[in-house]
Structure 1
């Protein structure tokens, strides 16, 4: 059975009524004819395994299960084949996924001892995992029933059981997830699926006809809002807006589009939407409007962006540069892209709307530096327009910043330096020509100057300074002090700087700040311990722990795979280093299990390349085996040995 046929089976299982080939085709991004051909193949296969697909004229296709035991056995075989191609589950998340599938497909009771043997784990481990499994099943009103001497078996409504199977037996990508929330909406609102499809079609048609540019996730959110609004209107709940807001909204083109959508929805669902609900739907359209022009000049930008948006964009980029030194403040694409993003986003903030970000986990994992910069952006927005920015929105802002960081990497050429000399420009020129003859294209000499003109150096355009006189001032770039007549030792110092690249996360780890196999039971106890240990050896701001919690409130720093990387909301330490603590048992960290805590302490006004350190941490996050090895180590030497092997 190929992947597409497998996906069709998943979609059919998500419904207890017929669905059209057009719907499945739209979901899987293929033609209806392809779907019809695939359904013939699927039906032929299923008829040997206790099920078949009914074709209902004018309605669509429906999965019919004649022999539940035989069909479940068929799914079990598919699961076993999948598991045989993979390694045994190691992390808690992998074990929970495995157990969920086993219980959903089990034809009989499952004994814990047998499951322990299957997964090569202890009974205490599986009992911990079962708590999470039970919580997950409770979302579907399903429960695990225990029978003495027999074991555990999943129990509950068959329709909900099949929906859970469609969700967890099959891998679901973001692009084919519409079934999930449409099914949920049908259940909570008692709306027939064909009516939901009709409302969806109306939205798509009006958006296309009126050339309103919406992202996929924005369309989904608009659709979900309309259906939930129907439910709340039926229950006697209404949204309210102040008159001034309503007047402003009525002037917008999007309000007329909302009127058309609502009129059609009222006919389909036989309900009357109050004017406030129409306005609220307009806000969805306004809040997700995207301007798709590129190569805009500064005057074009001023015509598109209101003054408030321009000011916000500048404040955000300036504060990010002040706090993180990413050198992206002159990136015009960032200024325009972020400005165009903030223009419609302000509408969302104004009306308290938060959009979901299906890429959030990937953004946090793959662009952690950009995400931290976006947290700073969120702080600016909260201060300037007095709104609360959630991590979904922070994730979208991070995409713009991440793109700027990547563009900077592409533009990186030879390192640039400025030469400073106290004994006259003649000496500076001597140093310049010597450096050119030795390093050639490896180095770009941006200029030369006397010591007293130090403040005139364009620090944003250079990487370091070569100076024949000691410089006591704290500058934005490193200073290499040399003799006027460059010696071999001086040239070696410069060469070391040109070729220096910190490739190891070990550079940021000190034995004094690695604590292994601790017994802390809460996030609070762990963080207090780590901060106390640092304060015993170096000075920290009195509110250091508060700043860590402030960062956690913006977006939890638990990355999955048992790892959390907490840190203060702004850089506060005297140097950059990691404080690491592993625990004997996982603790709850904002709903995720955590056993490896890495407190990130960043030098205030520092210039180190934090991305290198983040990449080292991400290599750990992405490898469950490494995490398990690190958690099980009992001494610093073994701990570092594992990290070195990872980088080899």
Structure 2
């Protein structure tokens, strides 16, 4: 019957809007194309029994054809039930395997042998050793190391506080965040205990009017569940006396004490004072304010001067670098101030608040995420705090909302009509333009040609003229007939619509490098950076800035795409440098085969939303990406890109 890999193949075929190639499935599952073809052969027989078939088209790929909906639904139900039964048992995907090993090590509490772990996962010892390299990288962030003993194996060792942080981040990273907290998502703990912890926290936060999001609530329950289980195993947090004194001064300490009293009574456990401090830290990382509609004076009353100044600097820097014109958005300013107060406590103590929207924010709102990266750099400079990827994602949500509001409030393009034949024909011309373009155009007036020098052109976006104008103006001049024809409207329309050839506006043939044989992110970036430097397009700081941006948050967005770029705009024009690879490489925690090095013009005032929309459309369309990866010539590449 179906193995785990076959289930994944069926799910991929069901979700795809077009045929899926064996190469794509092989890359996704990290197996050979031959293995996929063998799986498909077996699947063809199984699917046939459930009222379906797998159509194979040479050079295009596989797709599922369903003849009997009811019968086929049974197969899908079997796959779902099997997936639930096997969830967390034997992982199929390489990234899932890393998470599985990580969990095994964190929960073992004793030495594990390499051979036993390899047998458990049905993988070779060398594959396991490769996985352990990735795991060591993750542990390194928490100061956790391996203690190795001959004949015993190895186990994890580290500071108790950091171990718990690592557990919270990696044991529960698949928790649902919608609706009520579901303890069945955490099978390693007793459901009864989790229900009790959840109830106690809800009672206390309601009593003390602490505002918590579902994610924040889950985070607190997770940390308390870990605390309870670690105390049972006699594993305690230690704090230096000075830290303890500082935490006792916080009003959240009183709330933590009350939570502890109830926990001790109901769970029959003794909780030391340092653990009260630990709970206080988590309460400090939650929002204590429910009222959002505040004025500037209210904000000053609850937000200290340092946060106020930091947010001010954040928005100034974002506007200086990206010209988003959000610096004076008061609602955004207040939202960021209120968000930053608990976020600073989280950052101070290394608490990682899971962000389930992170991948969607990165891939669907890259412009907002870039603005958040700049905000994070300001935060580091002003408050000397390292900001993590999840927190950058939360900042991006606030900034993205402000950017969307800005789009809603986009001002109409202002123009003036230059007409030689009098007011009547000028009014007719204006009426026709208004009828066609509505609120998108604001006709501020009409004038004769000789008076044009008296008009402040800096307040206009373009000029419409019924006579030829040879003089150069700083804004576009569109010449039309007095009685507008179709072609005349088309000229005006070009200012509002994006023509198809604009899709290639940011792509230069000499900067498209296809089918390269690189093996690391570093090789790709050094190659592309070198190509740009050779052409005099970038300076010596460029690559350093690109690597600094990668260090903050990898620019791989899933579906084999990465869009690296410098932290802030550095080039004299906006363009892309593209590289495709013969084989996928590891880029952060994802595999990548299509790289678009994004360069935005420094101090540009151009509207870049169209460019970012192009990028988002490309990331979303995995079929087009796979076709682009296969292209061997620029002509092929351009044809496929325009088609997408």
User: Normalising TM by the smaller chain, what interval?
Assistant: 0.5 to 0.7
Count of aligned residue pairs for this structure pair: 507
Residue of structure 2 equivalent to 1:238: 237
Change (3 A) 1:145 1:519: closer
Residue 121 of structure 1: how far off its partner (Å):
12
Q: Which residue of 1 aligns with 2:52?
A: none
Deviations 1:50-71 (A, max 9, x none): xxxxxxxxxxxxxxxxxxxxxx
Q: CA deviation at 1:603?
A: 0.6
Residue 187 of structure 2 aligns to a residue whose secondary structure is helix
Contact 1:416/1:463 (<8 A) preserved: yes
Give the counterpart of 1:574 among 568, 572, 575: 572
Q: Does residue 579 of structure 2 align to residue 601 of structure 1?
A: no
Aligned-pair distance for 1:501? Answer: 4.0
Per the alignment, do residues 205 and 588 of structure 1 end up closer, same or farther by CA in structure 2, a change over 3 Å counting? same
Stretch of structure 1 that moved more, 527-536 or 218-227: 218-227
Output the CA distance in 2 between the equivalents of 1:526 and 1:76.
Answer: 31
Which residue does 1:296 correspond to in 2? 294
Are the structure 2 counterparts of residues 418 and 208 from structure 1 closer, same or farther at C-alpha, using a change threshold of 3 Å?
farther
Of 508, 529, 532 in structure 2, the residue corresponding to residue 531 of structure 1 is 529
Cα deviations by residue, 1:496-524 (Å, 9 ceiling, x for unpaired): 77435466431111101001111111111
Contact 2:209 2:288 in 1 (8 A): no
**From 205, 216, 219, the counterpart of 2:203:** 205
Equivalent-residue separation in structure 1 for 2:454 and 2:100 (angstroms)? 71
CA contact (8 A) 1:517 1:582 kept: yes
CA distance in 2, matches of 1:371, 1:298: 26
Checking the alignment, whether the CA contact within 8 Å between 1:579 and 1:600 is kept in structure 2 is yes
* Runs (5+) with no aligned partner, structure 2: 44-55, 59-91, 105-116, 125-173, 418-425, 483-487
Q: 1:82 to 1:566 in 2, by over 3 A?
A: closer
- Give per-residue Cα distances to partners, 1:369-413, cap 9 Å, x unaligned: 111000010011000000000110000010111111111111124
Cα pair distance change 1:561/1:236, threshold 3 Å:
same
- Deviation of residue 487 (structure 1)? 11
User: Given the superposition, is the C-alpha separation of residues 92 and 342 from structure 1 closer, same or farther in structure 2, using an over 3 Å criterion?
Assistant: farther
Give the corresponding residue for 2:475. 480
Structure 1 residues 465, 226: CA separation in 2 closer, same or farther (over 3 Å shift)? farther
1:144 aligns with 2:122: yes
Q: Tell me how far 1:532 sits from its aligned partner.
A: 1.2
Out of 175, 178, 185, the residue aligned to residue 175 of structure 1 is: 178
Matched position secondary structure for 2:178: helix
Q: Give the 3 Å change call, closer, same or farther, for CA 493–303 of structure 1 in structure 2.
A: farther
Structure 2 partner of 1:63: none
How far apart are the structure 1 equivalents of 2:14 and 2:35?
24
TM-score calculated relative to the size of structure 1: 0.67
- What are the Cα deviations for residues 2-44 of structure 1, in whole angstroms up to 9, with x where unaligned? xxxxxxxxxxxxxxxxxxxxxxxxxxxxxxxxxxxxxxxxxxx
Quick one: structure 1 residues 625 and 560, their matched pair in 2 at CA, closer, same or farther if it must change by over 3 Å? same
**SS of match in other structure, 1:643:** helix
Contact persistence 2:562–2:595 (CA under 8 A): yes
1:115 equivalent among 18, 39, 42 = 39
2:496 maps to which residue?
Answer: 499
Distance 1:263 1:505, change over 3 A: farther
CA distance in 2, matches of 1:506, 1:518: 21
Query: Contact (CA 8 Å) 1:241, 1:276: kept in 2 or not?
Result: no
Deviations 1:531-550 (A, max 9, x none): 11112222412021110000
CA apart distance, 1:632: 0.5
Question: Could you tell me which residue of structure 1 aligns to residue 621 of structure 2?
Answer: 623
Cα gap change, 1:173 to 1:436, in 2 (>3 Å): same
String of CA shifts for 1:167-208, please: whole Å, max 9, x gaps.
Answer: xxxx98543784475224x2xxxxx33223212221122112
SS of 1:558's partner is coil
Task: Show the counterpart of 2:128.
Answer: none
Deviations 1:436-472 (A, max 9, x none): 7896661365999999999xx9x8x87679999878x
**How many angstroms does 1:252 deviate by?**
3.8
Comparing 246-255 with 538-547, greater Cα deviation is found at 246-255
Q: Verify the 8 A CA contact 2:369 2:392 in the aligned structure 1.
A: yes
Q: How much has 1:213 moved relative to structure 2?
A: 0.8
* Alignment match of 1:224 (pick from 222, 225, 245): 222
More divergent stretch after superposition (351-360 vs 86-95): 86-95
* 3-state SS in 2 of match to 1:342: helix
| CA RMSD across the alignment | 4.4
Q: CA deviation at 1:134?
A: 5.5
Residue equivalent to 2:562: 564
Q: Hey, what does 2:152 align to over in structure 1?
A: none
Q: Which residue of the partner structure matches residue 393 of structure 1?
A: 391
Question: Which residue, 343, 363, 380 being the options, matches 2:378?
Answer: 380
8 Å contact kept, 2:461–2:476 = no
User: Could you list the per-position Cα deviations for residues 564-609 of structure 1 after superposition, in whole angstroms to 9, with x for gaps in the alignment?
Assistant: 0000001001100010000001111112111000000111111222
Aligned twin of 2:325: 327
- Offset of residue 132 of structure 1: 5.8
Aligned to 2:273: 275
Give a deviation string over 1:95-133, Cα, whole Å, max 9, x none. 688799xxxxxxxxx9877326458899xxxxxx97667
Contact 2:512-2:579 within 8 A present in 1 as well: yes
Contact 2:25 2:36 in 1 (8 A): no
Contact 2:200–2:259 at 8 Å: present in 1 too?
A: yes
Structure 1: how far apart are the matches of 2:255 and 2:176? Answer: 31
SS of residue matched to 2:351: coil
Q: Quick check: 2:237–2:278 contact (8 Å CA) kept in 1?
A: no
> Separation in 1 of the partners of 2:271 and 2:547?
43
Q: Distance in 2 between matches of 1:137 and 1:251?
A: 40
The 3 A distance-change label for structure 1 pair 565 and 556 is: same
- Deviations along 1:328-364, one digit per CA (max 9) or x if unpaired, are 2222221121121112222223333231111101111
Q: Distance in 2 between matches of 1:366 and 1:111?
A: 33
Aligned equivalent of 1:158 = none
Superposition deviation, residue 280 in structure 1: 2.6
Q: Give the equivalent residue in structure 1 for 2:131.
A: none
Tell me the distance in 1 between the aligned counterparts of 2:270 and 2:463.
71
Cα contact 1:370–1:399 (8 A) shared by 2? yes
1:51-450 equivalence runs, <5 A: 85-86=14-15, 90=21, 114-115=38-39, 117=41, 135=98, 138=101, 142-144=120-122, 174-175=177-178, 178-179=182-183, 182-184=186-188, 186=189, 192-233=190-231, 234-241=233-240, 243=242, 245-416=243-414, 442-443=441-442, 445=444
